[in-house]
Amino acid sequence: MKPNVLVIDVGGTHVKVLVTGQKAHQEFESGPTLTPKRMISQVRKLVPGSKYDVVSIGYPGAVVRGRPVAEPWNLGKGWVGFNFEAAFKRPVKIVNDAAMQALGSYKRGKMLFLGLGTGLGSALIVDGMIEPMELGHLPYKKKTFEDYVGARGLAKYGKKKWRGYVADVVKRLVAAIEPEELVLGGGNVKKLKELPPRTRAVNNHNAFVGGFRLWKEADNANTFPGAKLLPGKGKRTQSAKQKTKRS
């Protein structure tokens, strides 16, 4: 029997939640005062515990082995080391928020995902294997990519200049990473007039698709916790670390 999944997409301005079987998500405001305890308290007000069996969390920061390893830039403190499974009393999977939306957007091959939201989310998927990235914090002009193409850049420079910066950043990253497909997501993607070549735009609902897929993939690839089922092929792949351990 497939579990009912509660998917939580934690963003810099809002937290969005959706449970298996629901047609529309619910949300509440986040921001610099949001701690994990406050987040869970708000989620419980929206979704009774009896509605779900497992939890997926898209976290706006670095995640290693299913745990946050750095505090989020735009939220309150206390996320690193917090015991989410004890708080929810359910099994919990945590991934980078961009990685969760990337997983929900993935079709095949080598795909680069960039999320135009509060900051610049990024993730790379190669033949089904997800690699969360922190490209937004790389140096660009006088600051970082995120300062120019994130929400701060949009507010500071206006739509016209912001669109130019987005085009330039995309061109640079595509030249460096050479993906077969570029996917743009995040709340601000709809503010673009046109998309770069070989680019597909997705909406934030794909984050929920990714959250549901996290548990679907685990069911189909339970031999290796990090394995991902390739779409339509029924094969398991292993991460480089897992291959090393077995060789």
What pLDDT is stored for residue 216 in this prediction?
A: 87
What pLDDT is stored for residue 218 in this prediction?
A: 52
What pLDDT is stored for residue 225 in this prediction?
A: 33
Mean pLDDT (10-residue bins), the chain, 247 residues: 93 94 94 96 94 96 93 93 97 96 96 94 94 93 96 96 96 96 94 91 93 77 35 36 40
For the chain, the distance separating the N- and C-terminal CA atoms, rounded to the nearest angstrom, is 34
Buried b (16+ CB within 10 A) or exposed e, 125-138: beebebebbbbbbb
What pLDDT is stored for residue 74 in this prediction?
A: 84
DSSP assigned state of 13: S
Helix (H/G/I), strand (E/B), else coil: 172? helix
Strands 92-96 and 54-59: parallel
The domains found in the chain, sorted by start residue, are 5-100+205-237 (3.30.420.40), 107-201 (3.30.420.40)
Buried b (16+ CB within 10 A) or exposed e, 200-237: eebebbbbbbbbbbbbebbeebeeeebbbbbeeeeebb
Q: What is the pTM of this model?
A: 0.82
What pLDDT is stored for residue 235 in this prediction?
A: 37
- Write out pLDDT tens, residues 134-191: 899 999 999 999 999 999 999 999 999 999 999 999 999 999 999 999 999 998 999 9
Residue 54, C-beta contacts closer than 8 angstroms, at least 6 positions apart: 3, 4, 5, 6, 90, 91, 92, 93, 215
Helix (H/G/I), strand (E/B), else coil: 102? helix
What pLDDT is stored for residue 220 in this prediction?
A: 44
